[in-house]
């Protein structure tokens, strides 16, 4: 039986850490190992980790950020398969069994699966991510600059040998965080990916209100685009040097472009909204119209929704922005 390691990278998440560890230990796949890397937490995380004794492999390190934790894990891993579980997320009991069934069918570089969205208290919201399924071979799309639909960090299982073609990555500056960016997109350049078409875990969203615009945990809506651009530049260098492939200078991704859309349109005046849509929406519209992962119905629907931001009634425009940005707003409407 092939062995798998669930690596939990933690920093000051004592409130959620035990649930993450318990979910990893409860896997019905017998050859599952659990490693917890604590990135210099200053809260009560260490006693929680220590109470598990030999059930887990703990590593306590100086604080260096998520990328440093990934770099260390990938260096010391002794299994060929790994899931990086965020310390505020959980895996369902059959998660490892499901992904290993896929890995045994073909030489996948990565197997991804959906995550159910939870609120801060761990209650399911009815939403899940992602909503689109990529093709098995994303290499050509990435070489053309298209980021493929992927779940957040906890929804990905990797072949470690594929990760080692990309990692280690630089740890300083913007690269303290966003390690999953390099894992998700770098690994897809080294081999095909598979998708399990059902939810195998829970993704905790701390700002999970349907009335908010931001849906990301790790970075603010206005900061994420800048970070993504810098990470893409770093990934280009890594891919050129280690994989002998050339990524384009810019990338295309609806999630990235909608951050600009939301930050410029939300709570904006009528004239400001028109100005942005007429002069600065080119990349946003391209990410919709030319999106290789969307069907015609979804493209037309998103364009129609976006056009409602041009009406004079500001509350409608703000509702549209929330609906596009935050899947939880869609669940609220569907539940009425």
CB atoms within 10 A of CB 110: 26
Give the contacts of 279 (CB within 8 A, at least 6 positions apart): none
Distance in angstroms (rounded) separating the CA atoms of residues 175 and 196: 29
What pLDDT, in 10s, does the model give residues 105-157?
999 999 999 999 999 899 998 989 998 899 999 999 999 999 999 999 999 99
- Of the two residues 274 and 227, the one the predictor is more confident about is 274
Q: Categorize the per-residue pLDDT at 206 as very low, low, confident or very high, splitting at 50, 70 and 90.
A: confident
Query: For 162, what's the count of Cα atoms within 13 Å in the CB-facing half-sphere?
Result: 23
What pLDDT, in 10s, does the model give residues 40-50?
999 999 999 99
What three-state secondary structure class fits 295?
A: coil
Residue 83 pLDDT > 90: yes
Distance in angstroms (rounded) separating the CA atoms of residues 284 and 145: 14
Quote the pLDDT of residue 227.
Answer: 85
Say if pTM beats, i.e. exceeds, 0.75.
Answer: yes
Quote the pLDDT of residue 101.
Answer: 97
* Domain spans in the chain, listed from the N-terminal domain onward: 4-243, 254-334
Q: Given the structure tokens 């290499």, which residue do they identify?
A: 139
CB atoms within 10 A of CB 302: 20
Q: Given the structure tokens 């990278």, which residue do they identify?
A: 9
CB atoms within 10 A of CB 161: 12
Quote the pLDDT of residue 19.
Answer: 98
Quote the pLDDT of residue 9.
Answer: 97
Quote the pLDDT of residue 219.
Answer: 43
- The CATH architecture of the domain made up of 4-243 is Alpha-Beta Complex (3.90)
DSSP 137: -
Query: For 58, what's the count of Cα atoms within 13 Å in the CB-facing half-sphere?
Result: 17
Quote the pLDDT of residue 326.
Answer: 76
DSSP 146: B
Phi-psi bin for 104: left (phi > 0), alpha (psi -120 to 50), beta?
A: alpha
């Amino acid at each position: 039986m092939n062995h798998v390691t669930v690596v939990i990278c933690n920093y000051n998440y004592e409130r959620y850490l035990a649930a993450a560890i318990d979910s990893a230990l409860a896997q019905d796949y017998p050859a599952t190992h659990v490693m917890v890397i604590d990135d210099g937490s200053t809260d009560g995380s260490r006693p929680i980790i220590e109470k598990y004794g030999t059930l887990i492999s703990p590593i306590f390190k100086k604080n260096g950020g998520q990328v440093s934790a990934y770099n260390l894990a990938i260096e010391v891993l002794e299994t060929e398969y790994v899931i990086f579980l965020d310390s505020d997320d959980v895996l369902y009991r059959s998660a490892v069994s499901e992904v290993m069934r896929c890995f045994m069918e073909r030489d996948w570089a990565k197997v991804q699966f959906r995550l159910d969205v939870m609120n801060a208290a761990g209650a399911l919201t009815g939403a899940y991510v992602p909503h689109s399924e990529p093709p098995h071979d994303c290499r050509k799309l990435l070489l053309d600059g298209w980021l493929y639909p992927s779940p957040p960090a906890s929804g990905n299982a990797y072949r470690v040998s594929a990760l080692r073609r990309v990692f280690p990555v630089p740890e300083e500056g913007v690269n303290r965080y966003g390690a999953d960016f390099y894992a998700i997109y770098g690994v897809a350049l080294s081999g095909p990916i598979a998708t399990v078409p059902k939810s195998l875990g829970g993704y905790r969203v701390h700002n999970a209100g349907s009335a908010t615009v931001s849906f990301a945990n790790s970075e603010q809506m206005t900061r994420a685009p800048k970070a993504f651009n810098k990470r893409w530049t770093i990934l280009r260098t890594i891919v050129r040097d280690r994989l002998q492939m050339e990524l384009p200078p810019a990338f295309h991704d609806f999630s990235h472009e909608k951050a600009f859309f939301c930050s410029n349109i939300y709570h904006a005046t009528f004239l400001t909204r028109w100005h942005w849509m007429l002069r600065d929406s080119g990349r946003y519209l391209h990410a919709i119209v030319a999106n290789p992962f969307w069907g015609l119905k979804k493209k037309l629907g998103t364009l129609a929704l976006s056009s409602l931001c041009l009406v004079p009634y500001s509350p409608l425009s703000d509702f549209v922005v929330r609906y596009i940005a935050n899947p939880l707003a869609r669940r609220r409407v569907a539940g009425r």
